Amino acid sequence: MLILLVPLVQPCLLQALCALPDAHMHIDMRLPALHQCLSSFTQGCVPRRNSRNVLRLISRLLVPLESIFAVHVDEKSPQMYNELLHWVDANNLDHAVQIFSQFNIVRGGPNMLKAEIEGIRLLLNHVIHWDFCVLLSEQDYPMRANSAFAEYLWMHRGTSFVSVDEGECERDVSYQCGDRVVSLSGGVQFPKIPGLRYASGSQWFAISRELASLVGFNSTNPTCMVGTIFYDLTAVKQPDESFFQVTVLNSEFCTRYSDYTLHWTDKDSMRQVRSLTSEYNILSPGVLSFPKDAAKVQEVREQSLWAFFARKFDDSKESSQLKDYLDSQSGRNARKTWTSVRIPAAGRLMHVLASSLLQPTSLERLRRNVDALFHVQMLRANLGFERYIYFREKLSMPTIASSLLSLRVGCSWNKTELVFDGDVSAVSASSSGPHGCPSLWAVAHWRMSKKPVSEELLLVWTDPGGTPMQQAPISISEHSVLLWHRYTATQSLTHGRWSLEVRSSNQVIARRHFFAYGNPLQIPWQDVQEYFDIVPG
């Protein structure tokens, strides 16, 4: 079964995925759109009870009027197909959920990949414009709130998550005959195409719209690279575990992917399974259940913040109870908590807007969801009468292809909570006083990698006059996710527009401008607009 989720295109950042879970709060109206396609597959003959897993997964991820799904049901499961059609019709979800049944899925054969690509193609032709496509199984379930997932994808926009293991891949020629996949090569390896980089890995992926477009519109064209890869790999076993890997390595996306998937699988429970419909054995994890696996799953939630989906689950009472537990934990952590703060730069924002808005009575900052690895500063000013105005920090993105995701500057970095306790982007030039910035920090977010990475870069702080005031080497490894560095120059910050750059040996990778003020009223309005998105509540 294939399930694809795509939110509506609106002038909002994370509304469709509830990055800020209050559905009634339009606090992201002018930010870059993030939209997502979720796909899920059921292979082989699916028991009827699994439809409940599918419906629960869709219901858990669905955002009304802002998400769509495309669902492929195995041809061998017409009853399930009809059940899902009825469910869609009964709930008036025709605009949000598309059901189709086109392929006979047998493990190890080509139809799993064909169903994936057809589902992607359907959504690429939809009027909705989305940005991510995530492959799921009906045996998967979210471990975190939609908001945490959305924030993670937004921080990684343009990145595809594909598990790529280069090296020798088995090239056993296979053929699907009806409901069975058989080996035709007797152990002889099918020749590789000269010059093509081969790889394999987990079938689970989350790909950008750009990569999905390359695949969806070119896989049937044998004269182009993607079509060549498709026809080559569908002649051998399990092409769904190599097609996206080989496509990434042999395209412009080779520098824009992470080899981390967004799935966690209990590897300790993996076992080899022999299918009655295929000559190829597969590795399959055990079923997760409550209370047996609750502690293990909670440890993953706390320590592996890249993992958003766990597998696998079934329809048993104990497995459903673990889903209930995950919903409870993620829902509790996703509740928005606002704390009173005094952010001088926000006072400047409100001063500029005072001619058209009521005088604010308080200023609050949104606390980080502990389930989320990344957090962007969000402020709200109470204008009285339950009226608010929201300020969301804008991030500085890399100017060239890089594992750097964003660069930030702010006051009083909290290493425990992983947030700025003070101003961001517009900071006081003084370390004390009513508008003081006790410590100034640079914070960089990086894309993780499973492969060894060793890179030496330079962090350069430059004053408004163009003089480099501090240079600091930074070392990047495969474990780099969040790096912070304190500005320690003894001279006071010169008032005006500064820049912070991350440089390699011969080029600037990213640049973050920030403004150092003596009085918040000195902050130019154009800088305010550069550093913040401002949205009335």
* Sequential DSSP letters for 257-293: EES--SEEE-GGG-EEEE-TTBSSEEEEPPPP-TTTT
Task: Look at residue 163 and tell me whether its pLDDT is greater than 90.
Answer: yes
Range of the structural domain that residue 22 is part of? 2-169+199-267
Nearest CA to 434 out of 521, 511, 503, 497 is that of: 521
Nearest CA to 392 out of 64, 36, 131, 154 is that of: 154
Helix, coil or strand: residue 518: coil
CATH number at residue 114: 3.90.550
Q: Provide the b/e sequence for 230-257 (b: ≥16 CB within 10 Å).
A: bebbbbbbbbbbbbbbbbbbbbebeebb
Give domain status of residue 8, yes or no: yes
Give domain status of residue 211, yes or no: yes
pLDDT at 15: 28
Nearest CA to 36 out of 17, 12, 22, 50 is that of: 17
Q: Calculate mean pLDDT across residues 373-377.
A: 90
Task: Look at residue 461 and tell me whether its pLDDT is greater than 90.
Answer: yes
Say if pTM beats, i.e. exceeds, 0.85.
Answer: yes
Give domain status of residue 209, yes or no: yes
**Half-sphere exposure of residue 213, counting CA atoms within 13 Å on the CB side?**
11
pLDDT at 492: 87
Whether 16 and 148 share a structural domain: yes
Percent of the chain with pLDDT over 70: 87
Long-range CB contacts for residues 323-326, cutoff 8 Å, separation at least 24? 323/56, 323/141, 324/290, 325/290, 325/294, 325/297, 326/141, 326/142, 326/143, 326/297
Give domain status of residue 480, yes or no: yes
Give domain status of residue 273, yes or no: no
- Which of 267, 302, 317 represents a domain boundary (last residue)? 267
CATH number at residue 489: 2.60.40.1930
Q: Calculate mean pLDDT across residues 446-472.
A: 94
Q: How confident is the model at residue 510 (pLDDT cuts 50, 70, 90)?
A: very high
Structure tokens at 175: 């053929």
If one counts every other C-beta atom within 10 angstroms of the C-beta of residue 65, the result is 13
Which residues on adjacent β-strands are paired with residue 444? 407, 483
Q: Distance (Å, rounded) from C-alpha 391 to C-alpha 532?
A: 6
The conformational region for residue 370 under phi > 0 = left, psi -120 to 50 = alpha, else beta, is alpha
Task: Look at residue 487 and tell me whether its pLDDT is greater than 60.
Answer: yes
Give domain status of residue 147, yes or no: yes
pLDDT tens across 165-189, in order? 887 777 888 888 888 888 887 777 8
Sign of the torsion formed by the C-alpha atoms of 234, 237, 238 and 242: negative
Q: Distance (Å, rounded) from C-alpha 333 to C-alpha 367?
A: 10
Give CA angle at 21 (421, 532), nearest 5°.
45
Helix, coil or strand: residue 36: strand
Q: Which residues contact 158 (CB under 8 A, 6 or more apart)?
A: 208, 210, 256
Q: Calculate mean pLDDT across residues 448-475.
A: 94
Q: How confident is the model at residue 361 (pLDDT cuts 50, 70, 90)?
A: confident
Q: How confident is the model at residue 2 (pLDDT cuts 50, 70, 90)?
A: low
Q: Calculate mean pLDDT across residues 287-307.
A: 95
Whether 259 and 399 share a structural domain: no
pLDDT tens across 73-97, in order? 999 999 999 999 999 999 998 888 8
513 class by beta-carbon count within 10 Å (0-12 exposed, 13-18 middle, 19+ buried): middle
Count of domains observed in the chain? 2
Cis peptide before 291 (omega within 30 of 0): yes
Give domain status of residue 488, yes or no: yes
Q: How confident is the model at residue 18 (pLDDT cuts 50, 70, 90)?
A: very low
Task: Look at residue 358 and tell me whether its pLDDT is greater than 60.
Answer: no
Q: Calculate mean pLDDT across residues 38-48.
A: 43
Give domain status of residue 384, yes or no: no
Higher pLDDT, 495 or 3: 495
Please, are residues 229 and 196 in contact by the beta-carbon 8 Å criterion?
A: yes
Give me the chain's average pLDDT, please. Answer: 85
CA-CA distances (angstroms) from residue 132 to 68, 162, 179?
13, 13, 32
**Helices 317-334 and 294-303, axial angle in degrees (round to 10):** 30
Task: Look at residue 272 and tell me whether its pLDDT is greater than 70.
Answer: yes
Chain centroid, CA 100 distance in Å:
26
- Which of 267, 283, 299 represents a domain boundary (last residue)? 267
- Which of 246, 267, 288 represents a domain boundary (last residue)? 267
